[in-house]
Amino acid sequence: RAVCLNVWKTERQPRRWASRNILGLHERGVFHSIFPEKNAPELLKLLSSTPQCIYCGFDPTADSLHIGNLLPLIALLHCQRGGHDVIALIGGATSQIGDPSGRTRDRDAISLDNVEKNVASLHGIISNIFTNHERYIWRSTSRKLGNVSILNNNKWYGDENVIQFLSTIGKCFRIGKMLQKESVRQRLQSPEGMNLSEFTYQIFQAYDWLHLLSSHNCRIQLGGQDQMGNIDSGYELINRINGKQVFGLTVPLLTNNAGQKMGKSTGGEVLWLHPAKTSPFEFYQYFLRLPDADVEKFVKLFTFLPDDKIENLLRSHKLDAGLRSAQRFLAEQITILVHGEAGLELAKKCTKILYENSAETLAELTTEELLNLFSNAPTIELTLEAGSTVIDACMKAKCFTREVDAERIIKGGGVYINTRKVIEPDFVLIPGEHILPNHITVIRIGKKNHYIIKWR
């Protein structure tokens, strides 16, 4: 342990986190552990001498990655910034077997068609993140980013002969050692137990590493700390096959200051990286609303700001915490990384509309953007008739069940059309003011209840 701690503390000087020795990132919380720990000095020497190849796997069990997957991707980006080549490996084959890690029961079966769709979706998300990083965040003109590859392990399993695989790879594994894995022990103690398919998952993930070592000289595997058992399996297999020295690096599970697992939006939903599942606005708002107790940790984890500038940012933030300058910086950086410049601009526009009541910004949104922003709002299509009034629109949009209530609340200032307060029930709707250029009207009752009218 003492040796490992000394390795973590190798670089003390201020830096822009583009050092070839990525181990210094442990001080920011990006890395959790080295495997095997006793070989940490050799890993330090390897990383400091020549550019390496580092990979991390992502199983396409859904059509989007979530915020918990972003930290391993950030770690890969740091490796790429240090000049190392990186591989994001999508488990098109292994996802059909099922990773038992962190599960108390069998994973639901996924059809091959859905696996292929998920693979394509994950490929697009990962590709966008690396592209956005290079386009909007990477600033060095003197250093070159390492290469990035996005691979699918179905490529080498598709033609694999089962008998040959078992006779060459299967015989390298010992049942006793496999049974000792934490993911296996937990499942065997559960009422459902474990199926053979998931029991063999560690064999296939181990072979992935062996294949990437042979094809890309990939000597370092990166993964979440819950993947230590699978990393160990790959390490053991490579030792048995060719004895080449390889290493594992883990990133921590994402938790808040109270130790609770992060990744849920305000409504309790998963915070996804695909804009169709979690909008750029919801994504941006999640980080903008982070409590002060968490913001320092997340700025260090999810941005590439140097340590000295982080200290300046936090010092400025503490002078007037109400401005939420640290949260705003974090929200902007992480949103542009995941959703690009267009996604960030849309998130800012939506923020102005909902929290600053900007009618001008609302008018700039396309129909699709507006409907996405108010995706949970009831929507109705109506024909605009001459002389239609505010109360007519409210009643036809079913904002109220009784006209007397509508009249009372409108006169009391509780109704807004396109962010502007209206207090005259019989005021005739004016195109351009009450009806946006895209033929949509947004009615808000009180603070949070929205209704959408699409005019024909």
Specify the 3-state DSSP secondary structure of 120.
helix
Q: Which residues contact 344 (CB under 8 A, 6 or more apart)?
A: 280, 284, 332, 335, 336
Any idea which residue has 């299967």 for tokens? 170
- Asked if 254 and 71 count as a contact pair (C-beta separation under 8 A), the reply is yes
Is residue 101 situated within a structural domain?
yes
Residues 234 and 100 in one domain: yes
Give the side-chain half-sphere CA count within 13 A for 69.
Answer: 24
CATH number where 328 lies: 1.10.240.10
Residues 421 and 312 in one domain: no
Residues 129 and 213 in one domain: yes
Sign of CA dihedral 325, 66, 76, 40: positive
Residues 22 and 100 in one domain: yes
Is residue 185 situated within a structural domain?
yes
Is residue 17 situated within a structural domain?
yes
Residue 257, CA distances (Å) to 13, 254, 296 in order: 27, 10, 10
CATH number where 203 lies: 3.40.50.620
CATH number where 450 lies: 3.10.290.10
With cut-offs at 50, 70 and 90, classify the pLDDT of residue 356: confident
Q: What is the mean pLDDT of residues 74-93?
A: 97
Sign of CA dihedral 98, 103, 109, 112: negative
Residues 101 and 157 in one domain: yes
Residues 232 and 314 in one domain: no
Q: Could you give the number of structural domains in the chain?
A: 3
Determine the pLDDT at residue 415: 97
Residues 14 and 74 in one domain: yes
Asked whether residue 314 carries a pLDDT value surpassing 50, the answer given is yes
Q: Name the burial class of residue 261, with classes exposed (0-12), middle (13-18) and buried (19+) by CB atoms within 10 angstroms of its CB.
A: exposed
- Asked if 343 and 331 count as a contact pair (C-beta separation under 8 A), the reply is no
- Comparing CA positions, the residue from 68, 69, 175 lying closest to residue 126 is 69
| Whole-number percent of the chain with pLDDT over 70 | 93
- Comparing CA positions, the residue from 276, 269, 265, 279 lying closest to residue 343 is 279
Residues 175 and 230 in one domain: yes
Is residue 264 situated within a structural domain?
no
Q: Name the burial class of residue 226, with classes exposed (0-12), middle (13-18) and buried (19+) by CB atoms within 10 angstroms of its CB.
A: middle
| Per-residue pLDDT reduced to its tens digit, 205-262 | 999 999 999 999 999 999 999 899 899 999 999 999 999 999 999 999 888 777 777 6
- Asked if 254 and 68 count as a contact pair (C-beta separation under 8 A), the reply is yes
Residues 244 and 294 in one domain: no
Lowest average pLDDT, out of 137-151, 257-271, 322-336, goes to: 257-271
| Per-residue pLDDT reduced to its tens digit, 320-350 | 988 999 999 999 999 999 999 999 999 999 9
Specify the 3-state DSSP secondary structure of 437.
coil
Is residue 363 situated within a structural domain?
no
Q: Which residues contact 455 (CB under 8 A, 6 or more apart)?
A: 381, 382, 383, 384, 435, 439, 440, 441
Identify the domain boundary among 356, 388, 414: 356
| Whole-number percent of the chain with pLDDT over 90 | 68
Average pLDDT, the chain: 90
The DSSP symbol for 135 reads: I
**Residue 203's domain spans which residues?**
1-253
pTM of the model: 0.87
Omega before 36 within 30 of 0, i.e. cis: yes
Asked whether residue 3 carries a pLDDT value surpassing 50, the answer given is no
Residues 182 and 47 in one domain: yes
Neighbours of 398 (CB within 10 A): 10
Determine the pLDDT at residue 6: 56
3-state secondary structure 363-374: HHCCHHHHHHHC
- Comparing CA positions, the residue from 346, 298, 276 lying closest to residue 124 is 276
Residues 25 and 172 in one domain: yes
Is residue 334 situated within a structural domain?
yes
Distance of CA 279 to the CA centre of its chain: 12
Asked whether residue 173 carries a pLDDT value surpassing 50, the answer given is yes
Is residue 38 situated within a structural domain?
yes
- Comparing CA positions, the residue from 228, 227, 209 lying closest to residue 218 is 209
Determine the pLDDT at residue 157: 92
Residues 161 and 294 in one domain: no
Lowest average pLDDT, out of 99-108, 116-125, 285-294, goes to: 99-108
